[in-house]
Structure 1
């Protein structure tokens, strides 16, 4: 695959993808239709790179930045690239129109991958002449700190495109998983959604405060989940592994699952009460500072995991 990558969309996810590819030594062309967005993108990328250096995750921010070119012309941005990471709006019609443009100006071999959080590839590529080159490569925000990428082919995506995409993700030090067939929300957001739905039900029905619910994850489940998944967790939590665990606790989990209310856990009264509790803990004007705090902690965690892996 060529060493040239195009990132279409210079928002939060697009900037983060540009860092991922440039950090790995690839030449990146970053395009956005919004000129105002492009005017500020260089400074925002430099800030992120300086933070990564401070955390010990990169050594030379200027070298990484030098590999990222900001382009105002889509044809120039896509000329000669082997892979396009699209980071446009979460809207099917908008993506269909964008992919028509991408196909019209890119090379025949170019892979077109979407960062979408839940729209399957067949919904925005089915009208193209070559839908076999299209798939989803859904990151976790920000991908330069959280390496998981969900690679989700459509029913007409070629196996060669899937393998090339998986290989590229490994090359740029991401951790790709293959979602074997299309499903709304893919894997990560379906898992996250299941936890959020149950968290909102427990909060709505008065079993726990918002603060204590968060404590349950960050001081409990989250500690294990930072280095192992749920299947390995249960495999290690019974003397004889998964089947032993299922025999001990499966009936409890199944019974709890049958008790869940069909009522929408995302109803307005629940969210309004949750909003009030969260704003008492963290006023709106402090959200940006807290997001920066989160990213610094993620950087420290990633640096620790890298040390432990060596």
Structure 2
């Protein structure tokens, strides 16, 4: 995650400093960044017309937190999921950050839980990207109750500057926006398999060859707005159907047990557990191609004056 952020900011022309308290580890991180930038360039997957040398020249590493954050305009925290470790490091950052610096957390922890005791909590929010960050542009910006509006606005503009598409939540909510939607889709698919309605392959096909054909270019509300005579027409004509389906599906069950084992068994036919990295590369190549295709379509639509 941290490597992805570093590359995105460097591609956009910003100077980036990566911090890790262990000298050996931080040098390994830089080596991995160098390797990845070259691979992305070779694949034609860079978002900006910036050379490998120019990109890497903008990235430095350090094991000194003070050196890292001094004179920074923005800090992106990318620590592992342990919230206690995250809170500890953020307190250290809070003590050395500049008077105008904003801190964004990449994690899923509610920002109010991380920033309640920070002196600079008005300049703290969550900036949670959708994985894989290099190939997807959505980033959810989630304020704590005390986060200043200016901090949200500046972060939103910064994300736009580096090629991300910010989704600004009006208040914090467990699961945020994108992950909340994803959780509902996962639960629905899980129940179809558990109840013996479909097998894994057919549920996946329903997404890739059905809903996914819509969702790569428009959201769920736009889909029904266009399929019917506007969104309210869909609510009138389809509201009872949707409500009936929601009542019929047994939501709110924790996923696990035999159903989870059977799903993984079926998934592993196509991507065995020892070949997950190969599967990720397959995914990334397709996401990279989709980005190029979308950019081409958007340029054409802009020239033609389409919606």
Pick from 25, 47, 51: which aligns with 2:13? 25
Are the equivalent residues in 1 in contact too, given 2:19–2:61 (CA < 8 A)?
Answer: yes
Give the structure-1-normalised TM-score. Answer: 0.91
Q: Deviations over 1:114-173 (max 9, x none)?
A: 001x21111010011221111011111222210111111110001111111011011111
User: What is the alpha-carbon distance in structure 2 between the residues aligned to residue 113 and residue 163 of structure 1?
Assistant: 13
1:231 Cα offset (Å): 0.9
After superposition, residues 1-310 of structure 1 pair within 5 angstroms as 13-58=1-46, 59=49, 60-116=51-107, 118-238=108-228, 240-262=229-251, 264-310=253-299
Are the equivalent residues in 2 in contact too, given 1:29–1:68 (CA < 8 A)?
Answer: yes
**Which blocks of at least 5 consecutive residues in structure 1 are unaligned?**
1-12
User: What is the alpha-carbon distance in structure 2 between the residues aligned to residue 40 and residue 88 of structure 1?
Assistant: 16
User: What is the alpha-carbon distance in structure 2 between the residues aligned to residue 39 and residue 81 of structure 1?
Assistant: 21
User: What is the alpha-carbon distance in structure 1 between the residues aligned to residue 252 and residue 149 of structure 2?
Assistant: 41
User: What is the alpha-carbon distance in structure 2 between the residues aligned to residue 137 and residue 152 of structure 1?
Assistant: 7
1:224 Cα offset (Å): 1.2
1:34 Cα offset (Å): 4.0
User: What is the alpha-carbon distance in structure 2 between the residues aligned to residue 242 and residue 135 of structure 1?
Assistant: 33
1:62 Cα offset (Å): 2.0
| Greater displacement, 53-62 / 214-223 | 53-62
Are the equivalent residues in 1 in contact too, given 2:121–2:146 (CA < 8 A)?
Answer: yes
* SS of match in other structure, 2:249: coil
Give the structure-2-normalised TM-score. Answer: 0.92
* SS of match in other structure, 1:183: coil
| Greater displacement, 251-260 / 265-274 | 265-274
Q: Deviations over 1:198-223 (max 9, x none)?
A: 11111111111111111111111112
1:265 Cα offset (Å): 4.5
User: What is the alpha-carbon distance in structure 2 between the residues aligned to residue 224 and residue 263 of structure 1?
Assistant: 27
**Which blocks of at least 5 consecutive residues in structure 2 are unaligned?**
300-307
Are the equivalent residues in 2 in contact too, given 1:139–1:148 (CA < 8 A)?
Answer: yes
Q: How many residues align?
A: 296
1:263 Cα offset (Å): 5.9
1:39 Cα offset (Å): 2.7
1:37 Cα offset (Å): 3.2
Report 1 or 2 for greater relative contact order, CA contacts < 8 Å, sequence distance ≥ 6.
1
User: What is the alpha-carbon distance in structure 1 between the residues aligned to residue 88 and residue 201 of structure 2?
Assistant: 43
CA RMSD of aligned residues (A): 1.5
Q: Deviations over 1:88-115 (max 9, x none)?
A: 1223322221111001111121101100
2:302 maps to none
1:50 Cα offset (Å): 2.7
Are the equivalent residues in 1 in contact too, given 2:191–2:251 (CA < 8 A)?
Answer: no
